[in-house]
Amino acid sequence: MKLEYDDNWLRTLDEEEIRAVLSHEACHIAVLPSTTYYLKMGSESFVQWQKIFIDLYDEFLAHEEFRRRFGGSKIVDDDANVRTREFTSLDNVLRLSNSGTMDEGQALFFILNDAIFFPILGLSDFSQWCKAHELNNTYFYLNWLIEDFKYIESLRLNRVGTMDRVVLAAGLWTGVDARALLKEDKIVFLPSAQKAEDLVREKDAPLTESWLQRRLAMSAS
Ligand SMILES: [Zn+2]
């Protein structure tokens, strides 16, 4: 496993913040058997697409490990300080997506990858950021993903099986329109959502049922 950091970025951190950042990385090492991706073959963009969701799931696992090891101690505050300073890059991503310079799906998952730390550690900073940017449904959507991650974790599959399940679930996650989430703060299911449910149902009925219920609840409201 290889860790790479931008020296200029590290210089912006104090000693305790550096310790927090490295402790987070150590949690990745503690929960990952290897850094190999086991992906479905396809175009370069399909490969990148799969990595986005696997990386987000890996962040979830690392933050859970971080909470188990350090929950309630000062190192959580140090990590949170570093991550709330990164909110300026979330602001930039939002601006790029709103101006059409960046794909909304990419922007959404860039934001969530940074944001998932906060709810896992029981901190409200990201929900406040969402409130300030009128993105309350993005926070709501993130909580759906966390529910799914907890479900996938509970299956106790091996690494290959886990990645397979994450990519399968991603077919359901991307049934929600990222553009409507980021531009209008609305949860809108794409026409492809129902098709994705039909595809996933055979391989994971409980996960499909969760999404069917979420979709029906949204169309009823
Ligand atoms: Zn990480």
pLDDT, block means (10 residues), the chain with 221 residues: 78 94 94 85 92 96 98 97 95 95 96 97 98 98 98 96 96 97 97 95 97 92 70
Q: What is the CA(121)–ligand 1 centre distance, in A?
A: 14
Alpha helices in 12-103 (DSSP H): 15-31, 44-70, 74-85, 87-98
Q: What is the CA(159)–ligand 1 centre distance, in A?
A: 17
Q: What span, in angstroms and rounded, lies between the C-alpha atoms of 26 and 175?
A: 34
Q: What is the CA(156)–ligand 1 centre distance, in A?
A: 21
Q: What is the CA(212)–ligand 1 centre distance, in A?
A: 31
189 backbone φψ class: left, alpha, beta (φ>0; ψ -120 to 50): beta
Q: 3-class SS at 117?
A: helix
Res 124: pLDDT: 97
Angle (CA) 215 199 177, round 5°: 40
Report yes or no on 9 lying in a domain: no
Q: What is the CA(157)–ligand 1 centre distance, in A?
A: 21
Report yes or no on 126 lying in a domain: yes
Q: What is the CA(61)–ligand 1 centre distance, in A?
A: 9
Report yes or no on 3 lying in a domain: no
- Expressed as residue numbers, the domain containing 100 is 14-32+42-220
Res 49: pLDDT: 92
Res 69: pLDDT: 97
Res 217: pLDDT: 93
Q: Which helix (H) or strand (E) holds 179?
A: helix 178-184
Residues 90, 129 contacting (CB under 8 angstroms): yes
Q: What is the CA(34)–ligand 1 centre distance, in A?
A: 14
Q: What is the total count of domains within the chain?
A: 1
Res 1: pLDDT: 62
